Structure formats: C-alpha cells, structure tokens
A and B are shown apart, each in its own frame.
Chain A
Amino acid sequence: MTSWTRRELGIGAAALGSALGPARAQAKPRVVVIGGGIGGATAAKYLAAGNALDVTLVEPQSRYATCIFSNLYLAGLWSLESLTHGYGTLAERYGVTVVKDAAAAIDPAIRRVRLAGGASLAYDRLVVSPGIAFQFGEIDGYDEAATEFMPHAWSAGPQTRLLRARLEAMEDGGVFVIVAPPEPFRCPPGPYERASLAAYYFKQFKPRSKIVILDVKDSFYQQEVFRDGWDRHYPGMIEWLPARSTGGVKAVDVRAGLVRTGRETIRASVTNVIPRQTAGAVAHSAGLVDARGWCPIDPETFESRLLPGIHVVGDAACAGDMPKSAFCANAQAKACAAAILTALTGARPSRLHLLNTFYTFLAGNDAMGDAAVFTPADGTIKRSGAFLTQAGEQPETRRRTAREAVGWYDAFTRDVFG
C-alpha cells in the first residue's frame, strides 16, 4: 500500500508546524474528518484538543458561512462577512491538519479517503459531516439550474447573497413566495423565521408587499408562537398556506416567476424554493445512507450502522428525535469525539449529553429561545424534555432573548471554529 506523506498531499510544511512531523504523527491514531461545517469543525477540534490523536479535516472551501443568522442577513441586519469563519485557529491552536479539498470516495476496506485532487488519506476512524444535499425532481421545473432563478438559500453563501439581492430589487407591493420543505429538513424553524425576517425588512422598506408560504406540510414548528408574532409585528403581511388547502406545490416556471399548486398558479416577484433534503452526496456514494435518505447511526457513538469505523454527525445523520440544527451537530460531534477517543486511546467514556437550543427571530428585537434534552434509548435518540417559548410572553423577555441570541452566536462559533 502506498504511504502518503503530507508533502505529497500538497500541504505546505509551514502549515504543519514542527510538532506534527511525520514520525510523531504516525505514532498517534489517525482520524480524518470530512466536512468543515458545524459538525465537522467541532469534531476536529474536540478530537485534537487532548493532543492524543492525529486529526485531519478535509473541506473544499477555505471559509465557511453559517446558515445560522443568515435570515438576519436577508433582513439587512447582519453582513454575510460577519457570518463567515476560517480554519486558522483549528490548525494553529489545536494542531488540526486542514486539507483544502473534497472527499471523492471512501474505501472502508482499506480505511482510506480518496480526495478529488487525487491524493488519499489513511484513517483509523473517519468522521463524516457533509451536511445536506437537495433532492430535485419533486417539483416540476425545479432542478439544479433553477436555483439560479429561485434560490433555495438553504446552504449559506452565494445562494443567500442571491436571495438577498432579489429581495432588495423587488418592488414595493411585490409577492415573495417561500416554498417550505417536507420533513425532515435542516432547521425546522428556518423557513418561518425567514418569512418573519423578510417581513421585518419589507415593513420598513416595502410595506405594501406580501409573503406567501406554500407549505407541503399541514403544521410547523412553534406555529402558535410564529403566528402570534406575525399578527403583532406584520398584520396581514404573511400568509401561510398548508398543503391541505393548496394540494401542495406541483410546478414552477422559473423564467415567468410562476408557482403552481394543486389549486392555482401564483405569480411571484421573488421565489425561494426550499427543496426536499437528503444526506450530503459523499455519504450517498460511500454507502452510508439507507432507504430513508439519511445515515443510520449508533445513538451513543454516532458510528454508522452500515460501515464500521465511520461515524456520521450533523444533518446527514439519522439521529432520532434530534432536529437537524447546528446546535445538535455540535453536541453530536462532541459525543462522537468522546466515543472515538475512548475507542482509540482507551480513555474512559463519559455520559452523553445531547441538547438542542434554537434562538429564532420573529423581528429584530423579538426572539424565542427554545431548548430540548435528548437521551439515547431503544436504539435511537428520544426527546426527554422540552422547554419552549410560549406565545404572549412579555416584550422585555423577547428583547432579552434577542440580545442573548447575539451572544450565543459569538460563543457558539468560537466553540466550533476555535
């Protein structure tokens, strides 16, 4: 078997630092992490933190823009730049080797990851956190090319920028249509927070505009709290149409700006189609995905039920009751890192703590803060407690939560990216 040195992988010696010379690196068990998003970056950091493992993070982009708070960017409240993070601290402070490339294939038999650039990496354990991919074909006329006309903006970056540009260019009195996706999808409150914050922007600059949410579901996360917020802040501006009243979304005409439901055709000034989702492409090609489209995992170690030695965290994982959120991806990555440290170094296992929190904005100074606790049980992960924002809370409570949310973003992204 070929043995690859870092030099052959095209990584500059300077980036490695003398402490990570080949001899010492080879003495430590090797963990490769695919995907430098929320789950992958957290896993890399917590795996490397004890300095017992040789950790390599594979990520094609040199900077990562968070979906978290990207709806605040759409509202004109935050810049995309302030939502963008690099990998310098993971490399410098934690000794993670960051490889700017995409994983093209995984060979579990010989425990190697082949990179798009041609090189390959050997691993003792592999962590896969590739996020989501979109399943086109469900809505007639909505394919990959259509995303340039009706952006999904469901992974942050150019798509988010495009949607913001569309909203800025929209005339006052226009109609913004959001097509909300089927379960399970990344960020359950996300489409409805997006409607709230688009309304926040319209209220100031385009007050005659309307927002129509065409849902393929008949209910949504914290529906009462959202509707209460919409009534208070944007009366008459947001219309939510469940599948039972429209017959679902059937087709789009991206050039004419038309959206056809089971009942009618709506002319939209701007359309945001959030399609059905599945695990990221590399999870599919590696054989980590089951018939449901997600990666089945052991609820304590996040090791794949299909391919031993490979762990899946974040949105791609099928994690029982845990929603697909950054907070969950971060908690799962920590639990997974602990399990891998236990397996590779004999460290004693710790009890799992799986939590989620959602800070969700209804307006610039009105946010809800929800929390839930999860426990591995019966081979899956069950929600064992939930503490949810209620409709009709004091405005001061909501203002305080909005301030807290900003502090959370700061602390959370430091926890993930170093």
Chain B
Amino acid sequence: MLWLTEATSAQQASLTGPAPLAARLLPSTLIAVGVLAVVASADRAAAAEDGGHLVAICAACHRLDGRSTGIPSILRWEAEEIVDKMLDFRASERASPIMRAVSLSLSDDEIAAVAAEIAAIGRRAKSP
C-alpha cells in the first residue's frame, strides 16, 4: 500500500466551499516564507513515508516515467522546486486552471509530502 497513508489533522481540514479557497491564497510577499515552512515539513513527511498516495493525483495527468508528451514531466525537479511551483500555482502566478485547482486542494503538508515523493521517484528514474 505504498500510496496509502495516515491523514493528519491539518489534512482533515479540507476545503468546504469557495470562500476558504480564496482565503487560502498566500500574498506573494509570504510565498518565500511559505516555501521554507513547507520544505521543512517535507522532511517530516518523507520520514513518515507520506505522500505515496498523493502521487496518484498527479498520475492522472503526468507520466511518472519521466517522459512527457504535452504535459510537463514532474520528475526532473528537487522537492523544493516542486513546492515552489505549487505555491506559485496556488497564488495564481502560473496560469493553469487545473494546477490551480490541484494546489488549492492540497494542504501545505500534503504539498510537502507529494513533492518529496515525486523527487524520490525522479531520483530512482535517473539512477538505473
């Protein structure tokens, strides 16, 4: 069950309506701080082997063998870069309705966890 994991209480605080979605937008001045906080929790999450199940969300659109045919591969980045991009999507600094929806539906801990997992898959893909 590599893709199953325990839901933390933060994760349980799920979206319930359009208002919370808007409320979760980070002002851009806070983004850098946000990245640090999220990356810090990436270590915690990775230690708990968290995130595996979250990759199932990514797999609905991104190939997980490092190849891409129109949707960018997500396997070439480090965890910090992935977190960075997700926070940009959340703040709408990168235009993509789909990634905006995904980034807003994930909590900070989940973003950290999924970023760690993707980076790990990427490293495995690189080393034969």
Residues on A lying within 8 angstroms of B by beta carbon are: 46, 49-50, 52, 327, 330-331, 334, 338, 341-342, 345, 347-353, 355, 357, 369-373, 375, 377, 382, 384-389, 397, 403-408, 410-412, 414-415
Contact = CB atoms under 8 A, between A and B. Distances in A.
B18 A384 contact: yes
A402 to B, nearest CB: 9
Contacts of A355: 57, 60, 101-102, 105
Contacts of B60: 327, 330-331, 355, 357, 411-412, 415
B21 A341 contact: no
Contacts of B69: 406-407, 410-411
A258 to B, nearest CB: 42
Contact of A407 (B16, B17, B54, B68): B68
B14 A369 contact: no
A371 B102 CA distance: 9
Contacts of B95: 397
Interface string B38-66: 00000000000000011011011111000
Judged by DSSP, the binding face of B is loop
Nearest to A390: B97
B98 A348 contact: no
A385 B105 contact: yes
B104 A385 contact: yes
Contacts of A369: 96-98
A372 B101 contact: yes
A327 B98 CA distance: 12
B108 to A, nearest CB: 13
A388 B20 CA distance: 18
Nearest to A330: B60
A384 B17 contact: yes
Nearest to B4: A347
A153 to B, nearest CB: 25
Interface in B54-106: 54, 56-57, 59-63, 68-71, 95-98, 100-102, 104-106
Contact of B7 (A334, A350, A397, A411): A350
Contacts of A388: 97
A87 B11 CA distance: 35
Q: Tell me which of B95, B96, B98 has the highest count of chain A C-beta atoms within 10 A of its own C-beta.
A: B98
Contacts of B16: 375, 377, 382, 384
A404 B68 CA distance: 10
A50 B1 CA distance: 4
B4 A387 contact: no
A410 B63 contact: yes
Contacts of A49: 2-3
Nearest to B20: A384
A410 B95 CA distance: 22
Nearest to B24: A385
Interface string B2-15: 11111100011011
B97 A389 contact: yes
B70 A350 contact: no
23 contacts: A49-B2, A50-B3, A50-B4, A334-B57, A338-B53, A348-B4, A350-B3, A350-B6, A357-B60, A370-B98, A373-B101, A375-B14, A382-B17, A384-B15, A384-B17, A384-B20, A386-B101, A397-B95, A404-B71, A408-B61, A410-B70, A411-B69, A415-B59
A-B residue pairs, 8 tightest by C-beta:
A407-B70, A387-B97, A371-B101, A407-B71, A50-B1, A351-B7, A371-B98, A348-B6
B70 A408 contact: yes
A405 B14 contact: no
A281 B17 CA distance: 35
B63 to A, nearest CB: 5
